[in-house]
Structure 1
């Protein structure tokens, strides 16, 4: 009965948000309806992710969730790049990275920690994640460091070369973690909490794809209402890109990670949060640079000092908390405190 009610509200909220968008209703009403719709679509994605993880393992399930969640963001970013809105794109990339490492991981660790005193996941995987985060920070820092000494052409060339290298590095990481060393990085924590899954493997994958499509549409509609919202409240492009768009665009991943943490599957939650940040920094951002090159207006990979500082701070605190392979609710509080401080700073810039 509860499931039928959930699916009824899911379909109805998606339909109403679509009607509001395509009929040209007020932005405020569109924003409200899309917020409701994205909450239920996120819940649907969380359930689908859990079901896929049951068949494929927590790591692969978390990776698929992060990938599908970032696919929507990549599509939106491509249109922004096409329109030449490079600063907004880089701000949203920054927001996605810090949002996943601080907000998503923080909420997952906090809420999961309130139910389970200590939650454990693969400590070796935590170490590799920390190293990959460090690589992401270095890769984004180097172009910004040398940009002032280069011409625009040289900066674009460096950005393109770095982008190609990062894509190759990320592909090799997937080969390492999913193929050659998958047993070493397998996460068995939370297996004792397994219960019967209602969906078959095929249906689970189909529903995850369907949930991703729904979230992609709702996210795009929601982002479309932000311009009037930002003008109304006098918000800056940096704050909107780094926080509002990032939070909205990753709403599904936020919910899925929290739902999994509440079921003592912190390994999958960490894979969604940290894995998504790494995917944004090492794959999505470089791919956008490469795509922009073929569009004829190369987007450099030079981030502002504010953005680099936020990414570096997020990586340091996330590494510190996750490197021992165990979490508790207070560590979640620490992550959220850093996110709130950064949010206030970006709002006041």
Structure 2
């Protein structure tokens, strides 16, 4: 696709070039052949909506090639805009899946599902994605450097959001009617959105020089044209959101058959599949010695969920939900989010990455996953 020029007209010769380029992409990444599962899972969901286990398996197969396409397109865009903007772009598009899923659950009043998916996404992005990037990048490169100013900035934003989530949970014992918690959550939602907006202004405008990449990227395969990349980003993101919604609708039935607990499904399975696109980009960027992009995606995505997605859902619940949703999470979720934030702060403090740092982050995530699989945490009524 690198042979295409942005101003070319759509002609038979250009279509032939696009076809050859598509075939070349499939040869380089055979997993892209799984793209055939995208229409298949959509048709199956319409014809056999009760086939939960089959829908679950086919949804996973469909998300994999979509994630790879999203990864390639994001890399092409970030190569022209810089890793800071590229990380923000990928985090935003990746979190669109969680936002769409939550918006679908709000009218039904499934607030527990919404909160579980949000908390699980924060923990998964902070520990699994960041740890995997350190591990995969470190196995190829002895020591990798990244901009620790950017990493500290994202970690501080995440810590602020965790504190805001802790407060409604702390006062739950004295707030028997939940009225105070709802009002407090609404005020905190507005505050967090304002802080996030000012953070974007700080990192992308007034002090953007502080967030420059600290490492040189390796020369890889040629990038797609910017126009093609943007179109692919939009189209693939829509399909990811659609397939993810089908996945969430079938995952509970499949979980019952496979013996997975609801807590494990919400925190681990849904979060991993929902973040597949971001993880693909983060891991491949780390292998290409672009750890700045990987750290920006992992921590930026977690911070964006906590500072923007969760507050937006609180506000939207006043219009779509049967009652307002609060930021009150159960103690187990708050504890895991706080530990994940502390781990991200410690790992990003030095501005250098090695593979064993990834092992430690993944070990913490494995501890959480094993605990949730065997003993689900108590949840609020």
State TM-score, norm by structure 2.
0.87
Alignment-derived partner of residue 60 in structure 1: 85
Equivalent residue in structure 2 for 1:342, among 342, 355, 368 = 368
Q: Which structure 2 residues correspond to residues 1-349 of structure 1 after superposition, within 5 A?
A: 1-5=23-27, 6=30, 9-24=33-48, 26-150=51-175, 151-191=177-217, 193-195=218-220, 197-295=222-320, 297-347=323-373, 348-349=375-376
CA RMSD, 1 decimal:
1.6
Question: For each residue in 1:265-306, what CA deviation from the matched residue of structure 2 results, as whole angstroms up to 9, or x when unmatched?
Answer: 111111110000000011101100000022351001011110
Q: Quote the Cα distance in structure 2 between the aligned partners of 1:231 and 1:10.
A: 26
Q: Quote the Cα distance in structure 1 between the aligned partners of 2:178 and 2:129.
A: 36
**5+ residue gaps in structure 2?**
1-22, 377-381
Higher mean C-alpha deviation, range 174-183 or range 16-25: 16-25
Question: For each residue in 1:66-125, what CA deviation from the matched residue of structure 2 results, as whole angstroms up to 9, or x when unmatched?
Answer: 101101210110111111011111111110000000111111110111001111111211
CA drift at 1:215: 1.2
CA drift at 1:4: 3.9
Q: Quote the Cα distance in structure 2 between the aligned partners of 1:314 and 1:82.
A: 30
CA drift at 1:337: 0.3
CA drift at 1:185: 1.1
Question: For each residue in 1:203-229, what CA deviation from the matched residue of structure 2 results, as whole angstroms up to 9, or x when unmatched?
Answer: 111111122112112211211211211
Higher mean C-alpha deviation, range 62-71 or range 30-39: 30-39
CA drift at 1:190: 2.6
Number of residues of Structure 1 aligned to a counterpart in Structure 2: 348
Q: In 1, are the aligned partners of 2:32 and 2:65 still within 8 Å (CA)?
A: no
Q: Whose Rg is larger?
A: 2
Higher mean C-alpha deviation, range 105-114 or range 124-133: 124-133
Q: In 1, are the aligned partners of 2:53 and 2:251 still within 8 Å (CA)?
A: no
State TM-score, norm by structure 1.
0.95
Higher mean C-alpha deviation, range 145-154 or range 92-101: 145-154
Instruction: Report SS of the residue matched to 1:184.
Output: helix
More RCO (CA 8 Å, sep 6+): 1
**5+ residue gaps in structure 1?**
none
Instruction: Report SS of the residue matched to 2:209.
Output: coil
Q: Quote the Cα distance in structure 2 between the aligned partners of 1:145 and 1:230.
A: 31
Question: For each residue in 1:17-69, what CA deviation from the matched residue of structure 2 results, as whole angstroms up to 9, or x when unmatched?
Answer: 22222221732222222211111111111101100111111111111111011
Higher mean C-alpha deviation, range 74-83 or range 148-157: 148-157
